[in-house]
Structures are given as C-alpha cells and as structure tokens.
Amino acid sequence: MSNTSPLVDRAQLMRNRLRAKRIGGDFFLHHEARLEIQDRLDMVNKPFTSPAIVTSFPELWQSWFPDATVVADDDVLNLQERQHDLVIHAMSLHWANDPVGQLIQCNRALKPDGLMIAAFFGDQTLHELRSCLSQAEIECSGGLSPRVLPMGELRDLGGLLQRASFALPVADKTTTKVTFSSLNQLIHDLRAMGETSALHARSRKTATRALFDLTQTLYKKHFSDQDRLNATFDMVFLTGWAPDSSQPKPLMPGSARTRLADALGAKEFNLPNDAPQT
C-alpha cells in the first residue's frame, strides 16, 4: 500500500473556496471560461437536453446553466452513469489529485456520443509569480518550498483525454494577461478566486515580510510594465466525446481506393534504382 501524500490538501482547498465566497469572490476568469465554453457549444450542431456541470462554485455556474445538474468536484463525482449528453468540468480540474479519474467519471456519466468539455488553468499560468517567488525564497532562506500549484503543459494534458478513453479528443488553450498594482493586490485577487495554495507539501510557516518584499522587487524588475505587474493565466480546454458507432473513424492503412496523384491531378515519376535515399 502506497504512503505517498496527495498533491492537493482538499481540506485546505475547501477553506480557500469558502473564504472566496465569504469575501465576495472575484470570478472574472470563470466568466471568461464560460464564454469560451459557450463558443465551443455554439459550434457543435447538436442540442443538449441533459447537461451536467462539475464545479467548486455551484451557485455561479447554476446561474449560467439553470437547466444543468450541478455537482461538486469531489474525488468521487455525484454523477449517474450514462445520464447526460453534456458534461462540463468547470475550472477545477487543475486541483484534482487524480485528473484522469475525474475525466473517466465524466466519460461514464455521458450517454453514447455525449460531449465533455473541461476548462481549467494550465501551462504558463502565474509563471511570473512562480519564478520570482522561487528566486526570492532561495535568496532569503537558501532553499525552496512548494508554494504555487504546478501546471501541466498542453501536450501532456491532451493525453489525459486518450487515457480516459474519449473519442475525437481535442486540447487547446487561451491566454489572458492581467495587470496588478502590487503583489498584495495579486494575492488578494487569488484569494477572492479561491486559488491560493492548497498544496499538501506546502510550508506551514508564515512567510516572512522579507520574502514578499524581495518577490515584489524581482517582479517589478522582470515582469512589470509602467509600474504594473503582469500576470499570465493560461486556460486549457479539453474536449472529447463518449464513444459511439456513429462517429467517424480513421481508415485502416492501405484501405484507400483512390491514388493521391489522381486526386491531385499530378503526374508521378518513378525514382531510378540508384537514386540517393534520404
């Protein structure tokens, strides 16, 4: 039996989310995700009559999709098997200890030829903060402690869809640049989004004033514009379909009945036997 600790401390994550709700919340990036999801749904020539949404902020997403079944992003999702033609995993997959397991559960909840869309942070999200905070901690204490959630790269995240047995998998992302007047404002807004650290291996010690002062100095030096701090938020979108016999499938190698040269109207030339090989 493995004694490996989980990446995310779910109890702390819940406290962060409750604090975000208590202080009023600032969910502008959830709004961005919702608009991107709606654009993708508009491009699908298919009505959805039994949607479900997995989210950490149910009131927010329920207001946007009033006819959807909304469930929490627990380790075990409260979704019934083969009951939905659309499942949206909204802005929480980056906090999952088992993201593949989450996607597998979404797949199982879909009817055949149902659609799943996952939107979450990835790639270069907060790379400026991560870089400056790491450098400042090395200079202040001579070492590093986990403080900011690691983010997956798009290519690796797209592979999660195949591991979860989705058909027609697609992975893409959008990038949003936001500026802040200070490091304190950035941290305040992350708290209002429920996105401050909930890593299981995070340091339990209170960060020193010297650490944050140096982090802000480095931030202003390397990632500022006209005295405003720049912050990057990469939003990844994973799209996949529950397998169904009606979906297009790739042809087997050698099964083509038309020559490419004929289709292009091109003339073929045979290479001589002594032609150099590449």
**Residue 103's CATH number:** 3.40.50.150
| Residue ranges in the chain whose pLDDT is less than 70 | 1-3, 143-147, 203-204, 250-257, 259-261, 263-265, 267-278
Check residue 51 and give its pLDDT: 98
Check residue 136 and give its pLDDT: 93
Check residue 208 and give its pLDDT: 82
Cβ 53 vs Cβ 36: under 8 Å: no
Q: Is residue 42 part of a domain?
A: yes
Cβ 103 vs Cβ 166: under 8 Å: yes
Q: What tokens does 168 get?
A: 């027609």
User: Could you report the per-residue pLDDT of 221-261, keeping only the tens digit for each?
Assistant: 999 998 899 999 999 999 999 998 888 776 656 666 676 66
Distance in angstroms (rounded) separating the CA atoms of residues 151 and 235: 11
Check residue 49 and give its pLDDT: 96
Q: Is residue 115 part of a domain?
A: yes
Q: Is residue 250 part of a domain?
A: no
Crossing angle (nearest 10°) for helices 209-222 and 127-141:
130
Q: Is residue 236 part of a domain?
A: yes
Cβ 14 vs Cβ 53: under 8 Å: no
Q: Is residue 51 part of a domain?
A: yes
What is the β-pairing status of strands 69-71 and 51-55?
parallel
Q: Is residue 94 part of a domain?
A: yes
For residues 90, 91, 95, 97, the Cα torsion angle rounded to the nearest 10 degrees is: 20
Distance in angstroms (rounded) separating the CA atoms of residues 191 and 187: 6
Check residue 20 and give its pLDDT: 95
Three-state DSSP class for residue 160 = helix
174-204: burial string, b at 16+ Cβ within 10 Å, e else: eeeeeebeebeebeebbbbbbbbbbbeebee
Check residue 1 and give its pLDDT: 45
Of residues 122, 150, 10, the one with CA closest to residue 76? 10
Domain count, the chain: 1
Q: Is residue 63 part of a domain?
A: yes
Domain that includes residue 100, residue range? 10-126+150-182+230-244
Check residue 207 and give its pLDDT: 73
Helices and strands in the chain: count of H runs, count of E runs: 9, 7
Question: Residue 145: left (phi > 0), alpha (psi -120 to 50), or beta?
Answer: beta
pTM across the whole model: 0.85
Residue 13's contacts (CB-CB under 8 Å, 6 or more residues apart) are: 95, 194, 198
